[in-house]
Amino acid sequence: MRVAVLSDIHANLTALDAVLAAVPSVDEVWHLGDVVGYGPNPDEVVARLRELGAVGVRGNHDAAALGGREIESFNVDARRAAEWTRTAIADETRAWLSAQPETLEREGFLLVHGSPRDPIWEYITSTPVARAAMADLGKRSGLHGHTHLPVAYVEDDGRLETMSPGSGSRLSFDGRRVLLNPGSVGQPRDGIPTAGWMLLDTDAGTATWRRTAFDIATVQAAMTRLALPERLVTRLAYGL
Ligand code: ZN
C-alpha cells in the first residue's frame, strides 16, 4: 500500500493544499494528529481530510480544541490560538476531531501523535525515549509526530540508529523495525520553512521524506486578519 503520511498540519490549509498537489497517486492518506491549532483554517483543513477519507489519530491541539484540559499546559500563544480554534470550529469539525482515536493500527504500523505509551503528550526527542517507544511497539513499527521534526529511528541488531532525513531522503527498511516522523506540514520547526511530509510504501518497505514550499505570506495574512498571536505568524517564515 502506498500512503501519504501527514502530521501537524495545524490548520494551515495553504500548506496542506501545496502538499496534496505534490502527492503522487496513493492508496491512503494517514494523519498523525494536530490537524488544528495555531493556524487560520481549521474547518477547511478538516473538510479536506474528510474528502480524502484520511485516517489518523488525535493530537494535543486537537484535544484542546475539543475543550480538553490540555490547554492548561500550553504557552500563552498556543493557548490563545487554541481558544480561538474552540470558538471558531463548526460542529462537523468538532465531530470529526472527536472521532479520531488516540492510537490506530494499520498495515503493521502503530500511528500515534506523541508516543505509544503517552499518545497525546510525550515528545520522542531522545534515543532513550525512542528506545522505550520501540519496546512498547512490540513487533510493530511506528509513526509519530508532535515534535515537528523529520526523523527515523531504525532498529538494527538490537541497536537503534537515528537519522535526520532531508527532502528526498529515502529509507529502505530491509525487514527492520522503524519509528518514523514525517515532520510537520503546517508549522515546520527544523529551520526549513517548507511543509514536511512522507511517502510510505508498506509493501516495498520504504519511506521517502519530502518538503514542499507553500505561500507563507498568504497564511500569515490570514492569521493577522484573525488576530492570532504575532509570534505564531512570524515563526512560519523561519520554519521554527
Ligand atoms: Zn503539533
Q: What is the pLDDT of residues 134-174, one digit of tens each?
A: 999 999 999 999 999 999 999 998 899 999 999 999 999 99
Would you say residue 215 has pLDDT above 90?
yes
Report the C-alpha gap between 23 and 62 in whole angstroms. 24
CATH number, domain of 221, equals 3.60.21.10
Provide mean pLDDT across the span 187-210: 97
The residue among 64, 52, 60, 49 whose CA lies nearest residue 96 is 49
Please give the pLDDT value at position 146: 97
How remote is the CA of residue 1 from the centroid of ligand 1, in Å?
Answer: 26
Provide mean pLDDT across the span 86-104: 97
The residue among 207, 237, 225 whose CA lies nearest residue 40 is 225
How many structural domains comprise the chain?
Answer: 1
Sheet holding 141-143, edge to edge: 104-106, 109-111, 141-143, 178-181, 151-156, 159-163
240 in a structural domain = no
Q: Which residue has the cell 521517502?
A: 208
Report the C-alpha gap between 202 and 192 in whole angstroms. 27
Query: What is the per-residue pLDDT across 32-58, written as a single tens digit (0 to 9) for each?
Result: 999 999 999 999 999 999 999 999 999
Would you say residue 69 has pLDDT above 90?
no
Q: State the chain's mean pLDDT as an integer.
A: 96
209 in a structural domain = yes
How remote is the CA of residue 157 from the centroid of ligand 1, in Å?
Answer: 32
Provide mean pLDDT across the span 204-216: 98
β 109-111/141-143 pair status: parallel
Q: Model's pTM, two decimal places? A: 0.96
183 in a structural domain = yes
Q: Which residue has the cell 479520531?
A: 100
Domain limits for position 14? 2-235
Would you say residue 187 has pLDDT above 90?
yes
How remote is the CA of residue 24 from the centroid of ligand 1, in Å?
Answer: 25
Report the C-alpha gap between 5 and 28 in whole angstroms. 9
How remote is the CA of residue 158 from the centroid of ligand 1, in Å?
Answer: 30
How remote is the CA of residue 187 from the centroid of ligand 1, in Å?
Answer: 8
58 in a structural domain = yes
Would you say residue 62 has pLDDT above 90?
yes
212 in a structural domain = yes
pLDDT interval class at 28 (50, 70, 90): very high
How remote is the CA of residue 116 from the centroid of ligand 1, in Å?
Answer: 16
Please give the pLDDT value at position 68: 81
Is residue 184 classed exposed, middle or buried when 0-12, 13-18 and 19+ CB atoms within 10 A define those classes? buried
Residues, beta carbon < 5 Å, ion ligand 1: 8, 34
Distances (CA, A) of 83 to 65, 74, 94, 116, 170: 7, 11, 14, 27, 39
How remote is the CA of residue 107 from the centroid of ligand 1, in Å?
Answer: 24
Please give the pLDDT value at position 123: 97
One DSSP character per residue, 33-99 reads: S--SSSSS-HHHHHHHHHHHT-EE---HHHHHHTT-GGGGGS-HHHHHHHHHHHHH--HHHHHHHHT
How remote is the CA of residue 230 from the centroid of ligand 1, in Å?
Answer: 18
How remote is the CA of residue 146 from the centroid of ligand 1, in Å?
Answer: 5
Provide mean pLDDT across the span 181-210: 97
How remote is the CA of residue 140 from the centroid of ligand 1, in Å?
Answer: 24
